Every structure is written in C-alpha cells, then in structure tokens.
Amino acid sequence: MERTLTYAEAIREATEQEMTRDPAVMVLGLGVADHRAIYGTTHGLLERFGGERVLETPLAEDGMTGVAIGAALAGLRPIHVHIRMDFVLLAMNQLVNIAAKSRYMFGGAVSVPLVVRAIIGRSWGQGAQHSQGLHALFMHVPGLKVVAPTTPHDAKGCLIASIRDDGPVMFVEHRMLHSLRGHVPAEAYGVPFGRARVLEPGDDVTLVGISHMVLECLRARALLADVGVRAEVIDPVSLAPLDVDTIAASAARTGRLVVVDTGWTTCGASAEIAAAVLERLAGAAVVQVRRLGFAPVPCPTTRMLEQLFYPNAQHIAATAYALGTDDTTAWAPLGGTEAPEVAEFRGPF
C-alpha cells in the first residue's frame, strides 16, 4: 500500500529527518515548542532535540529574523516559522535588506542558509491580517528563493531542498493544505527549485494554480471536462526561480492561459507568470491570458463576503471556458459549493 502523510506531517517529517542528519539545523518561532506545535508541523521536535534547537522566541519578528540570520552566518541552518505570513511584514527589513543581500554585498564571503516558513491563513473569519498571500513581495527581491508546494510530497521535498540550500528561502504554505493527504516517500529527498509540475494533461487550456489554488484548478478541470474542455493543470511549485519553460510550452500548445493565485493580481505572482510566458512566446505563439486572484480589497471576515473574495473552481472553469469564445457568459458551471477543506475548517487557527 502506498505510504501517505498529511501536508503537516510531511513538513514535520522533513524537519525531523534534516535535524537528525545535520546538527546545524534548528527551528525557531512563536509556537514551535508549544502544545499546538504549529498544526503539528513541529510536534515532538522539542522532546527529541531540546530547547536550544527548537527555540520558542519572544514576539520580535524583526529581531528574531536578525538572530536567525546571525546564526546562519555562524553556520547554523535555521528554519524560522511564522504562523501567519502577515507577521513576516515585521521582518521585511532583515529579510530584504540583510538576508537577500548579504552574500552579494559581501562578495560571496558569507552565505545565509535560512528557511522562512510563512503560512497563509483562510476561512472562519481570518480577516484582513490573517489571510494575506504576500509571496510576490519576496519574488521581487533578488537573493530570495520562493517555493509554494501544494502536495504533501512536494512539501517534504521542497522543505528538505530549502534547508540544504545555502541561501535564504521563503517557504510558503497554505493553512487549507495542512490536512491534505498524499503519497510521501519515507526517505529524505529534495524537490528541485525552478521546476514546475504538470499535474494533469490537457490540450485546450492551461491552468496554472499557486499553492492552494492548485486544488481549485484541479476541480475546475473536472467541471470543464463535463463540457468537453480538456484543461492542463500546472503547479509551478517554485515561484523564484520560476520554470517559465514548462508553463510557456503548455500555453503555446493550448493557446489559452489562466493563472490563479492565492494572492492579489496587481504586481502579483500571476502578473509575473503571465508576463514571463508572453515574453518567452513573443512571435512564436498567440496566447490569451487571464489572471484570477484575491478580490482587490482587504479580506473581509463574514463568510458571505469571504466567499466572494477568493477565486473558486467555478470562477476558474467559467473564465477558462470564456477564453475560447467571444461570449463571456457562454457557460458557467452550476452550483457554488465551497471547497471542502474551506467549508469544513473550524481551526485550529
């Protein structure tokens, strides 16, 4: 029988295996050593590795990011966990001005092997400050890598690759993915940076989903299949570096590209992907492009408005279908059911 773990268990397993392999690996953050253990992702690590390597921190995101960078300069490989990506805004100075720049501005004399785990929240009224997908901010900055794995398999492999990388990596995880179950090999393995995955093949339209939106793209693919549209679903996995080749090759073949982000579209990851693909294909293929993402407002808390804030499988399917016609009301799938992982979510937050 195939070995399966949840996404959260995969992160925990990757962390434990790397901490066992390399005494330089440590975890720090608010909540990493408490009974909730960041949704179980750090469960048992304190007991196994002790409080020096599983460090519960003060509420000081800026200072503790600097501490993590300093520890990395001294040769440790810290994993700094933020239970919400919103809180990483407090660490932007250290991440952008120091972590991203140190190797370059010191001419290669130092490296900063730092992993920052940033969790995007959603559902049950998370609201404006517990729901932001800010990965595009980090994609903008040379010197930072950004990964946003969707499957438990890639969560484990990307985290191991991030820990072993000698530069700073933003590891983006979505709260709606932590319970997702899937095949995860028992041994340690790395998923390489800069390589997208074609999750499902199709010839009519290319759907690129980021993080949790991959699940919605897969659901949209099923809806589109009902009306005879065959969608190819691609998970970039790694946002910086970005595998433009794979996405561009698919878009050149289908002629239609829908990029769906768990973030805003303006200057967002979807804008970067669309622009990179169109530049790559300039003159070689004509591709129609649409972007979907958060509504351009702060995230509201009431469920009624929250449902309108996020793209869902129905939006994605209708948008993809309309790309092939002049009539934007040509077809929309029936119903408006919420994704089960969203509808069923009651915490922990």
Partner 1 sequence: MHARLYRSLYRVRRVEEEIARLYPTDRIKSPVHLSIGQEAVSVGVCEALAAGDVVFGTYRSHALYLAKGGDLRRMIAELYGKATGCTRGKGGSMHLIDPAAGVMGASAVVATTIPQAVGYAYAEKLRRRPTVVTSFFGDGAVEEGAFHESVNFAQLKRLPVLFVCENNRYAIHTHQRDRQAMESIAAFARAYGLFAERIEDGALAAIHDAACRAVAAIRARMGPRFLECLTYRWREHVGPGEDFAAGYRTRTEAEPWMAGDEVARAGARLDATERRRIEAEVEAEIADAFEFAERSPLPAAADLYAHVS
Q: Cβ 214 to partner 1, closest distance in Å? A: 25
Q: Cβ 93 to partner 1, closest distance in Å? A: 7
Just list the catalytic residues.
61, 130
- DSSP for 206-237, please give it: EEEE-TTHHHHHHHHHHHHHHTT--EEEEE--
Using CB under 8 A as the binding rule, whether residue 65 contacts partner 1 is answered as yes
Using CB under 8 A as the binding rule, whether residue 160 contacts partner 1 is answered as no
Q: Please report, as a single letter, which amino acid is at residue 166.
A: D
Query: 5 or 91: whose CB is closer to partner 1?
Result: 91
Binding span for partner 1 by CB under 8 A among 117-125, 137-145, 182-190, 285-293: 137-145
Give how far Cα 124 sits from Cα of 196, 286, 299, 342, Å: 31, 41, 12, 8
Q: Which of 40, 62, 124, 309 binds partner 1 (CB under 8 A)?
A: 62
258: phi then psi, degrees, rounded to nearest 5: -120, 120
Using CB under 8 A as the binding rule, whether residue 98 contacts partner 1 is answered as yes
- Secondary structure of residue 77 in the 3-state scheme: strand
Binding span for partner 1 by CB under 8 A among 2-10, 66-74, 278-286, 316-324: 66-74
CB 119 within 8 A of CB 79: no
Q: Cβ 49 to partner 1, closest distance in Å? A: 11
Q: Which residues contact 294 (CB under 8 A, 6 or more apart)?
A: 133, 261, 262, 263, 264, 265, 309, 310, 311
Q: Which of 43, 82, 130, 145 binds partner 1 (CB under 8 A)?
A: 145
Using CB under 8 A as the binding rule, whether residue 63 contacts partner 1 is answered as yes
Query: 103 or 253: whose CB is closer to partner 1?
Result: 103
- Strands of the sheet containing 205-209, edge to edge, are 197-200, 231-235, 205-209, 256-260, 288-292
Residues engaged in binding partner 1 (CB under 8 A): 26, 52-53, 57-58, 60, 62-76, 93-94, 97-98, 100, 102-110, 142-145, 167-168
